[in-house]
Structure 1
Amino acid sequence: MPVSLHPSPIETPVSLLHAQSLESTIQLHLEACLSWTPSQPNAQPLWSAVRAAATNYMMSLFTQGKLLGTSPSQAFFVKCDQTTTTQVDIDHSIANLLVGFASTKPAEFSTIRLALHTAAPNL
């Protein structure tokens, strides 16, 4: 009988399914709402717009009670700037978005990293 390295749905705790579902939901939403990035130059104005869009979405989840914390800064963070996107990334038309959030079930902090395609650099 083969041994599975992954628990069956019956063996997976409901809280873990909730966290995985929330993480998937956040990732899919961010990918969809940031689908416009390939038309933009990879620079500070893009990073600012990406942060604003991601922050708005995460704030909506916080106000709906889907994230743990008494303040937005406890519940999530959004980073897209020169600390997440290196010159090598810029040269390869990639802007990196890092989103961390505190899921209500289980009570742990998760992170999502998205590599967003951007307009080719002007060489």
Structure 2
Amino acid sequence: MIDQVVAIGDARPYVTALIVLESEAAAAQAAALGMADHSAAAFAQRPEAGEMLAAAVREGNSKLSRVEQIKRFVIVGTPWEPGGDELTPTMKLKRRPIAEKYSAEIDKLYAKTPGPDIVNLAD
């Protein structure tokens, strides 16, 4: 279900993440929900996507110390391709370009009142 995760937390009060859906798994979930559009972008908008990913993140968080745990995340609906803006040809994350491209989403992750597209695990 998860293709990429970028944890954000340097000089921040808590750790958040950008989570990229794995396209084929998202398409399968969209089909199972009877959605006409089977794209990762369409599935990312559904509450079920946030619920599924929240369960996976909580499981991962259980293996981390409290300060390392992801408190909020946002789902990125577009896949990141090797050699694109976000990944090198060898699949390494380009952290600075990601931070610049997704600065609005990152700001929402740290907003006092997160928007509807932010999944808050701190509750």
More helix by share: 1
Q: Flag the structure with larger Rg.
A: 1
Greater RCO structure (CA 8 Å; 6+ sep): 1
- TM-score of the superposed pair, with normalisation by structure 2: 0.30
